[in-house]
Structure 1
Amino acid sequence: MSATTPPSIAGSGASIVSFGSINADLAAYCRALPRPGETVHAERYKIGLGGKGANQAACAARLAGSLGIGVSMVGRVGNDPFGALVRDRLAAFGASLDHVRVDADNPTGIALIGIESSGENSITVVGAANMAIDSTDVDQASPLLSAARVLLLQLETPVAASLEAARLARAGGGIVILDPAPAPEHGLPDALWQLADLLTPNETEAEALVGVRPTDPASASACADRMQERGLTRCIVKLGARGVYFRDRDGDGFVPPFAVKAVDSVAAGDCFNAGLAVALAQGKVLGEAARFAAACGALATMRAGAAEAAPSLDEVLALLG
C-alpha cells in the first residue's frame, strides 16, 4: 500500500473532524431506470462530491466558516482525475484536506446513481480507496484527532480504523458522533457503542440496531431505551418528515418537523449530522443542537444532490427564526 499526503489546501487546527468516505457521485437522470439487460438513454448527467464523510465535512465547513470553527477531513482518494475533482470540490467548501491521503494503489471511491423522473433511484457504490483506510491514516492524523472538539464517524469505511480514531478523540476530550449508515447487517461492535457519545440513526437504522422501528416519539423513546442499555448516554433518533427525538442525562425531547418544500432527501442525514457537530462545537445543549441540526437537514431537502445541497448558516438561522 502506498499513500501520500497532498499539500495543505485549507487551514489546520480544526475543531470538527470528519473521518470517513470520499466519493465521486456520477448521477444519470432518465425517464425510467433500466431493467436487467436493458439500455436506456439518459437526459443528462452530473458528477459531484459524495460519500458520507465528505458530505458531512462539506456541510460542516459551509456552516462553520463564519463561526471561527475549523473543519478537517480525514480519508483517502485515488491518484486519478476523480480524486483531483473531489479534493477541489471539498476544498471549495472550506474544509482542510491536510489529512486526505492520495492512494497510489486504489482508485477514488465512486457512486453510480440512476435517477428516474419519478424520483426513484438506484445506486451502486464502489468503496475503492475508502476501504483501504487503516491504522496508518489514524496515526498520520493522530494530533488532529486528539485535539478534535467533535469527531464525525460513519460506516462507509473500515470499522477498525474508526474505532482507533474514536479512542483518540475521546481520550482528548472530544465528542464522538456516529452516523450508523449504511445500516450494519450484523450490528455494531460493542466497543463502538462504548466509544460513541452520540448515535444518530434514522428509522431503518434504528430498527436494524435495536429491533424497534420508530414512527413517533413514543417508539423513538423505546429505541433510546435500548440504545442506552448498550452504553450510550446520549442519542438522537431521526424520524424523517416526522421530526427528531433526542435524549441525554438531563431528559428527552422532540423537535417537530420544519415546513419546507422537499425536492430531494439525499443529503438530509449528512447535513443533519454536520449541523449537530457545529452546534455541539459551539457548546449548545443537546436539545438546542438537535433543533439546529434538524433545520440543516430540512433545508438540505430543498435542493437536489449531496454535498451541494448543504445550507448556509444564514439560511439555517432564518429557518430557526
Structure 2
Amino acid sequence: MTLSPTGHIAVIGSINVDFVCRVARFPHAGETMHVHAATTGLGGKGANQAVAVARLGTAVELAGQMGDDALAQVARDAMADAGVGLRFVRTETGGQTGRAFITVNDAGENQILVHGGANMTLRPDDVPALARVFDGARVVMVQMEIPPDIVVRLCEQARAQDMTIIVDPAPVPPDGLPDALFTLATVMTPNETETQALTGILPTDAPTARAAAAHLHGRGVACAVIKMGARGVFHSRRDGGDGFIPPFAVTAVDTVAAGDCFGAGLARMLASGAPLDQAVRYAAACGALATTRPGAAEAAPTAEEVAALLDTQECAS
C-alpha cells in the first residue's frame, strides 16, 4: 500500500446528539437509579471521527444527513466550532437528527442505545451528492451507522477513484458486514467484539489477533488493524508483515469514542504517507488519550497532546 500526501480527509457517516448518564454501575433489569451527572453533546461515529481529525489539525469534510429539528442545530454548531467542513451534510425535511443514549459506569465502560433517525434514511439516489466529498481527498473513513448498501456504493466510488478506504465495521449489522466491504476496504479496524462477530475469534493477544486477521485477509481485507483496548493493537497486511502495538499507560475514565479517535489518527497518518506500523502507533496514542476524558467528540486529543504521549512512552511494534 503506497500513499501520498493529500488535502482533506473525507468522512462519511452518522451525526448524532448524545445524551450521557454517568452511574456507579449499570442498572439491573427493572431497577431505577440516580446518576452522578448527565450531559448532552455531539456524537455519531461520522461526526466523532470528523471532529477528531479536525482536532489533530488536519482538514476534514463530512458527508451525512441530519433532520430539521432543534438537535440538528446543536450538532451543526458543535461541528462547525471544531473546524469540520459541512458542505456535504444534508438535511432531511421532517426528519429527526440521530441520537444516542449512553450510560457510563465508574470503570469507564459504556452501554449505548442509538436511534439512527436521518442517518438511516439515506437512499441510493443520495449517493452522488455524498460522493462529492471525495473531490480533493485521497483517504475516506466510513462506518456502519448509515445504511450498509449506501456504505458499499460509496466505497465502490471511492475505489474507482483510487482512494484509501478505512472501514470501521461498527456497529456490525445484524445480518453481518456486506461481503463487498471486505474487498473494498484498504484498512479494516474492528475492536474485539466486532472481530469476534466478523471472524468467530475473540482476540485477546497477538496470536489470537493474528488468527483473526488471517480470516479477514481470506475474505479480501488488504490491511487488518485489530483494536484490543487495554491489551493493545495488532496490525497485519495481506501481502505480508504484521506487528503488535502494546497499550499506552493512561488512566481511563471513559471509553466512548476512543475507537473514533483511533480512526482519526490512523487516517491522518496514512494521508501523510506514513507506513502502516507508524500510523497504527499514532492511532493507538489518539485512542488512549481519548479514554482519559469524558465525552465523545469532545474527548478527541490535539496533535500536540498525541506528540507528548508518543515522546514519553516507548511503544515498539
Q: TM-score, normalised by structure 2?
A: 0.91
What does residue 287 of structure 1 align with? Answer: 277
- For residue 134 of structure 1, report the CA deviation from its aligned partner: 2.2
Note if 1:70 corresponds to 2:59: yes
What does residue 16 of structure 2 align with? Answer: 23
Structure 2: distance between partners of 1:36 and 1:280: 44
What does residue 126 of structure 1 align with? Answer: 115
- For residue 118 of structure 1, report the CA deviation from its aligned partner: 5.7
Corresponding letter in the other structure for 1:108: T
What does residue 309 of structure 2 align with? Answer: 319
Corresponding letter in the other structure for 2:222: T
What does residue 141 of structure 2 align with? Answer: 152
Structure 2: distance between partners of 1:176 and 1:34: 39
- For residue 278 of structure 1, report the CA deviation from its aligned partner: 0.5
What does residue 297 of structure 2 align with? Answer: 307
What does residue 198 of structure 2 align with? Answer: 209
Unaligned runs of 5+ in 1: 1-12
Cα deviation per residue 1:261-307 (whole Å; 9 max; x = unaligned)? 11111121110011100000101010010000000000001001111
What does residue 251 of structure 1 align with? Answer: 241
Structure 2: distance between partners of 1:247 and 1:118: 31
What does residue 95 of structure 2 align with? Answer: 106
What does residue 266 of structure 1 align with? Answer: 256
Note if 1:57 corresponds to 2:50: yes
Structure 2: distance between partners of 1:224 and 1:97: 35
Structure 1: distance between partners of 2:107 and 2:285: 26
Unaligned runs of 5+ in 2: 1-5, 312-317
- For residue 40 of structure 1, report the CA deviation from its aligned partner: 4.1
Alignment equivalent of 1:296, drawn from 286, 292, 301: 286
Note if 1:166 corresponds to 2:159: no
Cα deviation per residue 1:188-228 (whole Å; 9 max; x = unaligned)? 22211111111101111111101111111111111111111
Structure 1: distance between partners of 2:8 and 2:212: 30
Structure 2: distance between partners of 1:315 and 1:116: 26
Between stretches 289-298 and 241-250, larger displacement belongs to 241-250
Corresponding letter in the other structure for 2:241: G
Corresponding letter in the other structure for 1:96: G
Q: Is the 8 A contact 2:233 2:247 kept in 1?
A: yes
Note if 1:238 corresponds to 2:217: no
SS at match of 1:124: strand
Would you say how many aligned residue pairs link Structure 1 and Structure 2? 305
- Identity level (%): 49
- For residue 14 of structure 1, report the CA deviation from its aligned partner: 5.6
What does residue 70 of structure 2 align with? Answer: 81
Q: Is the 8 A contact 2:62 2:133 kept in 1?
A: no
